[in-house]
Amino acid sequence: MKKQNYMSDLLIFLKNDCRMLFNLRFAAREQSVFKAVVIGVFAAAILAGLFFLFLDAFRFLSSLGGVGVLLIQHLFGLFFLGLGIMLVLSNIITAYAVFFRAEDVPFLLLQPVSRGTIAVHKYLESALLSSWAFFFIMVPFVSAFAWHQKLPLIFAFWTVLFSIPFVVFCSGIGVILVVLAVRFMPRLRGWVWFSAFFLCLLAFGFYDAFKGTGYKSDDVSFLLAGLVPGIKLASFPLWPSWWVSEGIMALVRERWDRGALLFCVLIANLLFVAMAVEFIGDRFFYGAWERVVSAGERAGLRRAGYGGLSAFTAGFLPPEYRAIILKDIRTLLRDPVQMIQGLLFFGLLGIYFFNLRNLQYHLLAPVWRNLISFLNLFSLATIMCSFCSRFVFPQISLEGHAFWIIGLSPTGMGRVLKIKFMLAVFIMLMISGTLMTISALMLSVPSYVLLITILVAVAVSFALCGLALGLGAVFMDLEQTNPVAIISGFGGTFNLVLSLVYIMAAIIPFGFICHEYILGGISRAWFAAGIAAASVWLAIITTLTAALPLIAGRRSLVSREY
């Protein structure tokens, strides 16, 4: 009989993971060069953009003198605190997928290894999956900080040395929370908990925004005052983020004893968290997983809910439209992973918009509010762009697998494209219209900025949905059933690039004209003429971006052999 050995079992898993990572070279060879180049260029552009943004912020604070210089030192700690919280939150989502939805879990549970070892293996997988974004943000911030403070090159080494255990530590907290929550929380569907969480955050933001403030000061004081509570929190010496920021700075200043002490504190806590994961995994992981797979469906309640929706849509939609729309809505709502992803896409943006007053942005000068309003529009548009790439683009390919149902029915694939376009646009209009209205109200921008941003959001909704669905039909992939694999091909990348180009072409003219008008650079008459011209430009590019791919997609679907 095999002797249980936790470490050697874990090493077997890690060796297997390394082999799979090494074998990724085969998959890399199958990827298109165009896609790799586009991703590389965009990643480099984002890194460079973030670097200069952070550098600009440091220079600005430096220009303020005493307080600003002091703040720069504390910003380092605040940055790690913020990233730590983000890591815990992102791990809650990643760990749920890795622990309870991954296909390999039943296989692993049947192997002669302890459940604690499986939990630690899954914990490391979750940490790896959720940490790339951490490093993506950390590299430009830390580089800008080092550049501005003229720190030696060894600073980069100390940062990496502290960051890796910090990432794994934060991931462990997320994992522990998820496993315990799944094991012991009363049974409700995941997205109900998630929606409740978001609603609480929104309610808090709303309350905070309108509770009133007597705070009046200049713009710089707003910025500094906004940072103070965070800095106070980040300076608490029991936070792991404090050990990281202080430890790195101690080593840079060659205070070896202090640096080593803080590193040892971090490692000791990391090992404790890893032990806790193993302990909790041993005792609760199987029970939690079993609870997820044995959860009963509340079919009766659900039938009643969807029955109402079915009856409602029957009043004004033709049967084939109703059939496809109801199928799509049901499919989306019954997939908690997709629901959570969808909520994440727009929920975080909604929380941010609701908190604009909390951040005192409505008291800023008109030129700043206008700028923030258009930046918000740009954020919304890029998230819509990601949403369309992730959810709308693969729709036709996924439907293509069911061509024997829909394609051979009197509805036909051509009409499916039209119905899906209508549904996607409806959903996008609801989301974009609501979010832009919230943003404008929270910022107290002039009514013309409100109207312009909503107009652009509406146009973006039409264009992105048309582009994603049309190209999705042209580059239909019947080999794949996994939406992520569908969007990672040439068609998905092409759609993403065109979408990004479109949103820049749509937003920049309006933003520039409004900015110039508020600064007093152009007269009212020139402003009106400029907005009219930009509107014509928007109408033309929106029509072309939405209609051409849809027409090409329809032709492709009708003439295609399945």
Partner 1 sequence: MIEIENLSKNFGAIQAVRGLNVKVKPGELFCFLGPNGAGKTTTIKMACGLLRPSAGNIRVGGFDVMREPAKVREIIGYIPDTPYLYDRLTPVEFYEFIGDLYGIPRRQVAAELEHSFEIFDLGQYAACLIKDLSHGYRQRLIYAAAFLHNPQVLFIDEPFIGLDPYTIRLIHNLLKRKAGENMTIFLTSHILALIEKLADRIGIIVDGRLTAVGTLEELRAQSLVQGSLEDVFLRLTRPESKEMQNEK
Name the site residues for partner 1 (rule: CB under 8 A).
Answer: 1-4, 9, 12, 15-16, 19-20, 23-24, 26-27, 103-104, 106-107, 109-114, 286-287, 290, 293-298
CA distance 545 to 465: 9
- Residue recorded with tokens 């890591």: 87
Closest CA to 463 of 372, 390, 539: 539
Q: What percentage of the chain's residues is helix, strand, coil (to nearest 5)?
A: 85, 0, 15
Per the document, the length of the chain is: 562
Identify which of residues 1 and 7 has a Cβ nearer to partner 1 in the complex. Answer: 1
Report how far residue 291's alpha carbon sits from residue 187's, in angstroms, rounded to the nearest whole number.
9
Of 59 and 187, the one with the shorter C-beta distance to partner 1 is: 187
**Could you give the residue ranges of the DSSP H alpha helices within 211-255?**
219-234, 240-252
Rounded to a whole number of angstroms, the minimum distance from the CB of residue 178 to partner 1 is 20
Q: Give whichever of 153 and 299 is closer to partner 1, judged by the CB atom.
A: 299
For partner 1, the closer of residues 19 and 524 by Cβ is: 19
Structure tokens given for 228? 């103070």
| Shortest distance in whole angstroms from residue 8 CB to partner 1 | 8
State the nearest-atom distance from the C-beta of 92 to partner 1, in Å. 25
Q: What angle do CA 504, 510, 515 make, to 5 degrees?
A: 115
For residue 8, give the H/E element and its range: helix 6-30
SS3 165: helix
Residue nearer to partner 1 on the CB measure, 81 or 98: 98
Instruction: Choose among 352, 354, 437, 426: nearest CA to 392.
Output: 426
Tokens 């220009």: give the residue: 63
Task: Estimate the crossing angle of helix 366-387 against helix 336-354, to 10 degrees.
Answer: 180
Q: At its nearest, how many Å lie between partner 1 and the CB of residue 293?
A: 7
Minimum CB distance to partner 1, residue 18 (Å): 11
Please give the Cα distance from 37 to 29 (Å, whole number).
14
Nearest approach, Cβ of 485 to partner 1 (angstroms)? 11
Q: Which is nearer to partner 1, 114 or 488 (CB)?
A: 114
Which residue, 301 or 525, has its beta carbon nearer to partner 1? 301
Closer CB to partner 1, 4 or 221, in the complex = 4
